Structure 1
Amino acid sequence: MTTTEGQLRIIRTFKAPRDLLFKVWTETEHLSKWWGPKGSTLHVAKHELKPQGLFHYRLTNPDGHQMWAKFIYREIDAPEKLVFLNCFSDEEGNTVPAPFGPEFVDFPLEVNHDISFAEADGGTTLTITVGPHNATPKQQAFYQSMFESMRQGFDGSFDELDGYLEELQ
């Protein structure tokens, strides 16, 4: 994990071809198998893989708690790059504040995800850079205070992804 200019960068190499790794990030049937915290289930309400297209989904945690979120695709350059905004949403797809209580009031409404996929020794190195988009200075500061928690969240999701990729190969 590295941080630069208020953004979090995580680099991880997966034992999978680049084309496959890109597919599991962009195809509905794959995203529903691994995206989200361990033990959660994902319901896809809408998925349009195109610039300004929407991936709108609901995550249900093992305790039954549900939350809605969405990606708004900004750039798709298969199989090398994927850029999207990630936002919490309501069931209709409207952007809403983070649903974690008043202590998260300063969490940014939009978080940009810039992902690159590079071939590496029979696998693929994924570099993901995430940071606030259209955020106030207070939101940017809060976001930076969450880096360690977010790193742990990505590590958990990427562990799920590793397991899913093993099933596919």
Structure 2
Amino acid sequence: MKRFALSGLAVILVAAATVIAGEVELEGVKCVVAPKPATEGKSADYKEGKVYFCCGGCAGKFASNPDKFAVNANQQLVATKQYEQKACPMSGGDVNPEITSTVAGTKVAFCCNGCKSKVDSAEDEASALKIVFNDKAFKKAFAKAEAK
């Protein structure tokens, strides 16, 4: 009986997640754990939003150590428009909408060319991601998007 009740609860949770996930555009969005397309069927709550995975295995890896995947999860929250940029990720200052770079497919604005050059001169995309979407920069520059 207990197993039946837990199975029913799991079905309800997946159905609810699917309804909520339907509001998020996942085209071009990668799994937080693996470099594969994210799907609506696999997600987890994260920072007042949802992050999406390619499979249950990746969802399990994230659940066991979300801090390990925080940079990718933060970027995905912005890519899925659940969070929006409010300030420069480097300085925390006002952004100049004309000074931008694209980091892992996500457009990011900066306050000045000095901040932009720190990201543009990163060794590779993974390094640029860490600069812009680490927890400290994310908290400084991004906020939950207001419901429209």
Per the normalisation by structure 2, the TM-score is: 0.31
Higher RCO, 1 vs 2 (CA within 8 Å, ≥6 residues apart): 1
Structure with the largest fraction of strand: 1
Structure with the largest fraction of helix: 2
Per the normalisation by structure 1, the TM-score is: 0.28
Query: Max radius of gyration: which structure?
Result: 2
